[in-house]
Amino acid sequence: MVRKAQDYKTPVHNNWCPGCVLPGSLIHTNPDVKPIEAIREGDRVLGWDGRYHRVTEVFSHHHRGLMYKIRAKCLGETVLTPEHPVLIARRHHPKRHNERFELIWERADQIKKGDYLAYPIPSEVVPVTTLPLPGKRSHDRHSTPLPESVPITPDFLRLAGYYIAEGWIDHRSAEKDHVEASVCFAFHKRERAFVEDLQTIIARLFGLSTSVIEKSSRNTIELYVHSSRLARAFKEWFGDGAANKKIPHELLLLPPEQQRELLKGLWRGDGWVHPTKPRACYKTISKKLREQLKLLLLRQRIVPSVYTEPARSGHREAYTLFVTSQRDVARLAMILELDRRTVHSEGKPPSTVVGQNFVMIPVAGIETFEYDGLVWNLEVEDVHSYVSECATLHNCGDFGILNAVQMALAELDLEPHRVAVFSGIGCSGKTPHYINTYGVHTLHGRVLPYATGAKLANPDLTVIAVGGDGDGLGIGAGHFVNAGRRNLDITYILHNNGVYGLTKGQASPTLKLGVQTKSLPQPNINQGVNPLFLALAAGYTFIARSYAYDIKHLVSIIKQAIAHNGSAFIDVLQPCPTYNDINTREWYGGEDRKDPQTGRPIPRVYKLEEQGYDPLIKPGMSDSEIAEKLNRFIEKALEWGDKIPIGVLLKNETVPSYEERILQRIPFYREAPPAKQTIADAHGRPTIDLTKFLEELKVT
């Protein structure tokens, strides 16, 4: 039987960091926006970095309890569970904007009115020069010949805007013999200049003539382009019907300066700018277009206010994007090539702050309500975040480690009833609750003795222990050392984030001397423990390090650790988005240092296996060869700061496991370990006679 990661998930919800959002929550995807429940593995979603990343898993569960509705000043609202991390900055003064913004991941139930939601400005740019037209159909013998592709010029982008705002496809004419479908546009009679612009563009790009009909009763001018092939292209690119209009993703990824012509066409069709007041507006009944247009404006450093007008008799639900601050109307007027002097010099001060990578949007209000139903969440490759209508949402490192354990078990195709997972106390403590195997949530620092007992009682079990750096290297340090020197065949996964995350961020044993996280009133006064060195000294025969945000790598390391015959230790670097603002995802990813040539971050984390590093100590090696391996281990274990290695650092196959040593003393142990010994008959009556044993203990 081939198993999947889903087979190792329990119906119990992991009610810490990851959180979830309501069904119907719109998430920005490539190429559009979707309700979260419609997203599938492999889809790409917008991340906190303004780029699109692959969804690796989609989750849902039944939630019963409070939900938090966070309403942003301009961009709408997001509804989520209390513990869901949101990217925010705290407000420093109630009546004026911050001068500095320190971004943090904060639980929804800890966000306050006035705090800023950090909304990413899309930054991914993919220059495209042409769009291919659909091929001519075999039965289409009447269409005017068209080029195989159309160049993405300013004219084409303006044409796209005109069609998305004011165009439609006339299919009725295509039903008649020898008559083509048409691309149609409608403008007010005062907008004759736009009609003439359209005629020029269509002739220049496609070599097609147009028909123009003036309808005095409606004060409109309609323009028709008769071409079935062009009609199919426009339907494919831009949608058909006002509620289905969209911007092709290729155009959404163009450089912002190119997109200005697209905005110009859109605004000429369905938008307006007040001639004297700082006020502009765009209206649509396409929810998809509303969100896409919002992103287009953000890329121009313009922040719209998004409103929904409920459906009423004879009218569908509509969406309006208002631009009301003097700052933003002036930018829009420049893009639309309006006379900037006609825009009133005074206006409403901006309620948002536009930075280089984010728009900082104040929280306008927070409401709570009881909910009983399904909620959804995503796991996203690389950035572990995704963007809703008004907020940037995150999955924390514990969730990545949990996923990696489930995926490793699935890829090894281990039977759930032959696996046991143990945890201590801390943010990682509930891991056994969410993995569909045997599991025990043990005492603080005692996870390894429990795991040891289970493995000795039933050697056929695959035993995995998980715990935080405080749990394992603080109160549990003695057990950590003794588990290593036994070399029992178990795997221990350490969640290492430098703080006691469950108890508000005190310094853990791995936090380095002199480091001051935001949760500490003063710098750390104690020397930090190096888990890799301690594991080597204790006698672990498999020592590795991985990174919580590189799930693929972590899955590989966990699989190797489980396959190893001996004590396996994995030090997982796990950013704590709540309390450790030093060793963040951005820090590990090198966001604070950019390549001067490309401008891209230079990651601190690198993979040993890509450097040709060999961790293996095998039987037959000489003392000098083993010493060389250990020296290489020490060299890599010391690396920290600009370069941090991850991968298998040591794999020693020369030390017999604890089980093998027990067999030498107790030969029947293999066939009759404690878990396989019969202690009662079929009726539950004991079959073990303890009389002799009790006599030996009797004090006379």
Q: Tell me what pLDDT residue 30 has.
A: 83
Tens of pLDDT, residue by residue over 356-376, are: 999 999 999 999 999 988 888
**CATH class of segment(s) 18-121+355-395:** mainly beta
Q: In the beta sheet, which residues pair with residue 182? A: 170, 226
The answer to whether residues 431 and 449 touch, using CB atoms and an 8 Å cutoff, is: no
**CATH class of segment(s) 130-352:** alpha beta
Backbone phi and psi for residue 420, each to the nearest 5 degrees, phi listed first: -135, 130
Angle at 624 between CA 618 and CA 628, to 5 degrees: 75
Tens of pLDDT, residue by residue over 96-127, are: 999 899 888 787 888 999 999 999 999 999 98
* pLDDT for residue 294 is more than 90: yes
Token pair of 691 as six digits: 């009389």
What is the bridge-based pairing of β-strands 542-547 and 644-652?
antiparallel
Q: Tell me what pLDDT residue 373 has.
A: 87
Q: What pTM was estimated for this model as a whole? A: 0.63
**Distance set, CA 454 to CA 212, 488, 690 (Å):** 83, 11, 23
> At 477, is the pLDDT very low, low, confident or very high (cuts 50, 70, 90)?
very high
Token pair of 347 as six digits: 């206006």
> At 146, is the pLDDT very low, low, confident or very high (cuts 50, 70, 90)?
confident
Average pLDDT rounded to a whole number, residues 421-441 = 90
Token pair of 516 as six digits: 């001051």
Tens of pLDDT, residue by residue over 155-172, are: 999 999 999 999 999 876
Three-state DSSP string of 523-561: CCCCCCCCHHHHHHHHCCCEEEEEECCCHHHHHHHHHHH
For 374, the enclosing helix (H) or strand (E) is: strand 358-380
Closest C-alpha among 73, 207, 54 to residue 144: 207
Virtual torsion, Cα 625, 627, 633, 639, nearest 10 deg: -120
Residue ranges of the chain assigned to CATH 2.170.16.10: 18-121+355-395
Q: In percent, how much of the chain has pLDDT > 70? A: 94
Please state, in angstroms and rounded to a whole number, the distance separating the CA atoms of residues 163 and 234. Answer: 8
Of residues 140 and 607, more confidence is placed in: 607
* pLDDT for residue 502 is more than 60: yes
Of residues 675 and 573, more confidence is placed in: 573
* pLDDT for residue 263 is more than 60: yes
Sole residue written with tokens 């989520």 = 80
The answer to whether residues 436 and 8 touch, using CB atoms and an 8 Å cutoff, is: yes
* pLDDT for residue 279 is more than 60: yes
The answer to whether residues 43 and 335 touch, using CB atoms and an 8 Å cutoff, is: no
Q: Tell me what pLDDT residue 5 has.
A: 64
Instruction: Provide the CA 437 distance to its chain's centre, in angstroms.
Output: 27
* pLDDT for residue 656 is more than 80: yes
Q: Is 336 helix (H, G, I), strand (E, B) or coil?
A: coil
Q: Is 58 helix (H, G, I), strand (E, B) or coil?
A: strand
Sole residue written with tokens 């159909």 = 137
Please state, in angstroms and rounded to a whole number, the distance separating the CA atoms of residues 470 and 505. Answer: 11
Q: Tell me what pLDDT residue 17 has.
A: 41
For 452, the enclosing helix (H) or strand (E) is: helix 447-457
Tens of pLDDT, residue by residue over 211-261, are: 999 998 889 999 999 998 999 999 999 998 899 999 998 999 999 999 999
Average pLDDT score over the chain: 89
Residue ranges of the chain assigned to CATH 3.10.28.10: 130-352
Please state, in angstroms and rounded to a whole number, the distance separating the CA atoms of residues 195 and 126. Answer: 31
Q: What does the longest C-alpha to C-alpha distance in the chain come to?
A: 119
Highest-pLDDT range among 239-243, 577-581, 621-625: 621-625
* pLDDT for residue 177 is more than 60: no
DSSP code per residue over 478-515: HHHHHHHHHT-S-EEEEEE-SEEGGGT-EEPTTSPTT-
- List % helix, strand, coil for the chain (3-state, nearest 5): 30, 30, 40
Residue 467: burial class (beta carbons within 10 Å; 0-12, 13-18, 19+): buried
Q: In percent, how much of the chain has pLDDT > 90? A: 63
Instruction: Provide the CA 450 distance to its chain's centre, in angstroms.
Output: 34
Closest C-alpha among 237, 174, 162 to residue 202: 162
DSSP code per residue over 564-579: SSS-EEEEEE---TTT
Q: Tell me what pLDDT residue 14 has.
A: 44
Please state, in angstroms and rounded to a whole number, the distance separating the CA atoms of residues 542 and 646. Answer: 14
* pLDDT for residue 19 is more than 80: no
Domain 398-658 is of which CATH architecture? Answer: 3-Layer(aba) Sandwich (3.40)
Q: Is 419 helix (H, G, I), strand (E, B) or coil?
A: strand
Please state, in angstroms and rounded to a whole number, the distance separating the CA atoms of residues 257 and 241. Answer: 28
Average pLDDT rounded to a whole number, residues 383-398 = 82
Residue type, 23: P
Residue ranges of the chain assigned to CATH 3.40.50.970: 398-658
Beta-carbon-side half-sphere exposure of residue 266 (alpha carbons within 13 Å) = 27
Considering only 5-9, 298-302, 567-571, 619-623, which range has the smallest mean pLDDT? Answer: 5-9
Radius of gyration of the chain (CA): 32
Please state, in angstroms and rounded to a whole number, the distance separating the CA atoms of residues 539 and 122. Answer: 49
Average pLDDT rounded to a whole number, residues 125-133 = 92
Virtual torsion, Cα 286, 291, 295, 301, nearest 10 deg: 90
* pLDDT for residue 521 is more than 80: yes
